[in-house]
Amino acid sequence: MGSRASSLLREEDIEEIKKETGFSHSQITRLYSRFHSLDKGENGALSREDFQRIPELAINPLGDRIINAFFSEGDDQVNFRGFMRTLAHFRPVEDNEKNKDPNIEPLNSRNNKLLFAFRLYDLDRDDKISRDELLQVLRMMVGVNISDEQLGSIADRTIQEADTNGDLCISFNEFIKVLEKVDVEQKMSIRFLH
Amino acid sequence: MECVWAVVVPVLQVFSALLLLLMLPAMFGLSSITETYMKLLIKTLEWATLKIQTSKREEVMKQSNSYGLIQRDDSSLEKEIGELRGNRPRSAVGGAFAFSDVFYFSRKGIESIVEDEVTQRFSSEELVSWNLLTRTNNNFHYVSLRLSVLWGVGVIVRYGILLPLRIMLACIGLSWLVIGTTVVGFLPNSRLKDWLSELVHIMCYRICARGLSATIHYHNRENKPRKGGICVANHTSPIDVVILANDGGYAMVGQVHGGLMGVVQRAMVRACPHIWFERAEMKDRHLVTQRLKDHINDKNKLPILIFPEGTCINNTSVMMFKKGSFEIGGTIYPVAIKYDPLFGDAFWNSGKYSMVSYLLRMMTSWAIVCNVWYLPPMTQQEEEDAVQFANRVKSLIARQGGLVDLSWDGGLKRAKVKDTFKQEQQKMYSSMVVGDDSSN
């Protein structure tokens, strides 16, 4: 019930999350009630099934990969802190935040947004996208509609174009290079209200 | 012992007096006490709202007043991905793909995690202002001493006075129904029987409605469902039935239940032809349709009442109408029901609460206030199939009730999405990759 949901979130926690993610106080409390309503097990953490219950996410071809981005390796639960940390990647970049503290890179920086996308492809988390990984992700996106052959040639060409050191894999640096001209800041942002 | 009786007896006397005062007018469709109560209630809640507004900082009000966490732009896959790829030339052989294509899916995915159209319809709606019931909202806490005292008084009134009264009313209403319909059931089929049966039903529902302190505003009564038709309405709670039946007789359609519901159902069917199905029969769509068809072909029978969403939605939207009810033929009488959430949350979250605890929550709310709009009768048009017809009716109901018109299936409350929806998305994306000429 409502009153319990907000009492679990202490003021100190909100402050810390605010610092770490850049979300405002009211955004945090409201995302907390969203978190709470997704948490069907009512144990203060979300499982993969909790995410899969969102129909719009379940029909997203990359839904499973996106859900995976919330879980650190080996974990099958994500708490509110972790939930917020992942969401923070999608905060728009605001001008006054750009050079706030040069030592700490905000979660919603261009680099971190790109890293989020990179990790969708990097299935085994070895910081490289291999041809095989790319093929698997492509298959998730297109389903049964495109032949293995055709998909293979798309993967080959994509790797060829992006691979600068000839190891037939895409590193994060090569990934950044390919997407140099894309407006990542805008395309990987969600308009959170106040 | 004696002093206990000295307290109990007068309390009982007061209660029975109140009961009579409430019930007798209710049986004949009159009301006086309820109206006074409603006026008092509205005044109190207005005062409380004012109190919250003045004592809380602006920031908090702003947060509770707004709906929605994010603003979505609903640009299509084609447009988005086209933009992402910029003017990269699309090579003729092998198709087009860019690493940035995942941006579109990630954004959509994260958006749906923050806020989605479906799951939030299956939990209680958020209120703009606190209504002095603890359970309804996240954003309201301690405001002032006077408000807390008021809340405390509210608890005592709701649990100490309203609840016992309402339980008694509900019991009387239901026993009246069982006894009344059983007696009427013994009469030979005649006009008199129909008339008496309708009378018994309506009296019961009116008493039950009092038991929930229901204040119902009916609009456009000239469009009330007539005999031989099908009434379709949006579904928020099991008490929708009580709400609608307060203003006219309906033939119910449903599954045979056991327990208390079973007793009531068996009694009701004796007096008036409701349509109850055994669980196994329910699966046989053909049989169901046939029995409904037979019912509406008999112009003397009451209109059938159907909730085509098949599940309760939280009073903010209308979800997919199952096409079954629209395949029967005959005239459809659409009805929009919208509860006023300020006085109590009427939504039955069946995953969370059992029927009994739901009814208890209802009976400890302030009141049930709702609007019922009768919409002009509709029939299927020639070029329309059942699904299109269902959608047309649904969007009219949504518009009239001020509800969001959704095409998602309410069955998602329990079941997972069908894979075909994902396949559609994949297909759409595939055509972006290989182009529309991929078929050859």
Q: Mean pLDDT over all residues of chain B? A: 81
CA of B297: how far to CAs of A192, B49, B314, B417, in Å? 54, 52, 34, 37
pTM: 0.79
Name the phi and psi angles at B109, rounded to 5: -65, -50
Across A118-143, b (16+ Cβ under 10 Å) vs e yields bbbbbbeeeebbbbebbbebbbbbbb
- B341-379: pLDDT as tens digits: 888 888 888 777 888 888 888 888 888 889 999 999 999
Per-residue pLDDT, averaged over A110-121, amounts to 94
Query: Which are the contacts of A177, defined by CB distance < 8 A and separation ≥ 6?
Result: A162, A164
B431 contact residues in A (CB cutoff 8 A): 145
Q: Is the pLDDT of residue B243 over 60?
A: yes
In the numeric block, the tokens 């119902």 are attached to: B216
User: Which amino acid belongs to residue A18?
Assistant: K
B430: chain A residues, CB-CB within 8 Å: 142-143, 145-146
pLDDT for position B128? 64
pLDDT of residue B435: 67
Q: What is the rounded distance in angstroms from the CA atom of residue A128 to the CA atom of residue A125?
A: 7
The predicted pLDDT at position A90 comes to 94
Above 0.90 for ipTM, yes or no? yes
Q: Which helix (H) or strand (E) holds B27?
A: helix B2-27
What fold is seen in the domain A106-194? Recoverin; domain 1 (1.10.238)
| B303: pLDDT strictly greater than 50 | yes
- Is the pLDDT assigned to residue A99 strictly greater than 60? no
Q: How many contacts does A have with B, using Cβ atoms within 8 A? A: 193
Q: Is there a contact between A59 and B97 if contact means CB atoms under 8 Å apart?
A: no
Chain A residues with CB inside 8 Å of B103's CB? Answer: 117, 182, 184, 187-188
CA separation, residue A18 to residues A14, A88, A110, B162, B436 (Å): 6, 10, 19, 44, 47
What is the C-alpha to C-alpha distance for residues A140 and B62, in angstroms, rounded to an integer? 42
Contact check, Cβ <8 Å, A2/B137 = yes
Mean pLDDT of B412-438: 81
Q: Do the domains A106-194 and A11-90 match in fold?
A: yes
Chain A environment of B116 (Cβ under 8 Å): 54-57
Q: Say what the pLDDT of residue B321 is.
A: 93
Average pLDDT of the residues in B101-119: 91
pLDDT of residue B223: 92
Q: Quick one: pLDDT at residue A5?
A: 44
Mean of pLDDT values over A6-29: 85
Decide if A178 contacts A161 (C-beta within 8 A): yes
Distance in angstroms (rounded) separating the CA atoms of residues B74 and B86: 19
State whether B114 and A54 contact (CB < 8 Å): no
Average pLDDT for residues B195-224, to the nearest whole number?
87
Residue B59 has pLDDT above 50, yes or no: no
* B85 → chain A, closest CA residue: A182
Mean pLDDT of B415-436: 84
Residues within 8 A of B (CB atoms), A 56-115 only: 56-63, 66, 87, 90
- Give the whole-number percent of chain B exceeding pLDDT 70: 87
pLDDT the model gives residue A115 = 94
Instruction: Say whether residue B220 is in contact with chain A using an 8 A CB cutoff.
Output: no
Q: How far is CA B340 from CA A125, A168, B42, B125, B370, in A?
A: 51, 62, 12, 11, 6
Contacts of A110 in chain B (CB under 8 A): none
Joined together, the tokens standing for residue B336 give: 């929009």
Q: Which residues of A61-86 are buried (b: 16+ CB within 10 A; e: fewer)?
A: bbbebbbbbbbeeeeeebebebbbbb
Using CA atoms, how far apart are residues A63 and B111, in angstroms rounded to an integer? 12
Identify which of B71, B117, B426 has the shortest CB distance to residue A191.
Answer: B71
In this predicted model, what pLDDT tens digit does every residue of B145-162 receive, in sequence order?
A: 777 788 788 888 888 888
B88 pLDDT higher than 60: no
Does A177 reach chain B within 8 Å, measured CB to CB? no
Task: Find the DSSP H helices in B275-365.
Answer: 279-283, 285-297, 355-363
Which residue is associated with the tokens 């599940």?
B311
Model confidence at A95, pLDDT cuts 50, 70, 90, reads low
If one compares B259 and B324, the residue with the highest pLDDT of the two is B324
**pLDDT above 50 for B437:** no
Alpha helices by DSSP H, listed for chain A, are: 2-7, 11-21, 25-38, 48-52, 55-58, 63-68, 80-88, 110-121, 131-142, 148-162, 172-178, 184-187
Secondary structure class of B188 (helix, strand, coil)? coil
The verdict on a CB contact (< 8 Å) between A117 and B102 is: yes
The per-residue pLDDT for B413 is 81
What confidence tier does B1 reach under pLDDT thresholds 50, 70, 90? low
Strand ranges (DSSP E) for B67-185?
70-71
Torsion of CA B395, A56, B309, A30, to 10 degrees: -90
Quick check: B69 and A154 CB within 8 A?
A: no
Q: What is the mean pLDDT of residues B394-419?
A: 88
Q: Could you read off the pLDDT of A38-62 as tens digits, one per residue?
A: 988 888 899 999 999 999 999 999 9
pLDDT at B157: 84
How many Å lie between the alpha carbon of B362 and the closest alpha carbon of chain A? 16
Least confident stretch, A94-98, B302-306, B429-433: A94-98
CA distance B308 to chain A (A): 20
Residues of A in contact with B66 (CB under 8 A): 193-194
For residue B414, what are its two tokens?
A: 């329990």
pLDDT of residue B375: 95
Any idea which residue has 């699966």 for tokens? B283
Q: Tokens representing B233?
A: 């309405």
> Is residue B408 less than 8 Å (CB to CB) from chain A?
yes
Using alpha carbons, select from B229, B167, B179, B185 the residue that is nearest to residue B204. Answer: B179
Quick one: DSSP state of residue A145?
Answer: S
Give B345: exposed, middle or buried? Use CB within 10 Å, 0-12, 13-18, 19+.
buried
Please give the Cα distance from A191 to B1 (Å, whole number): 68
Query: What residues of chain A, 6 to 65, have a C-beta less than 8 Å from chain B?
Result: 6, 26-27, 29-31, 33-34, 37-38, 51-63
CATH classification code of A11-90? 1.10.238.10
What is the tens place of the pLDDT at every residue in B9-32? 777 787 787 777 777 776 666 666
Residue contact A62–B426, C-beta within 8 A: no
Evaluate if residue B440 carries a pLDDT over 70: no
What pLDDT was estimated at residue B439? 42
The domain limits of chain A are 11-90, 106-194
CA distance A186 to A182: 9
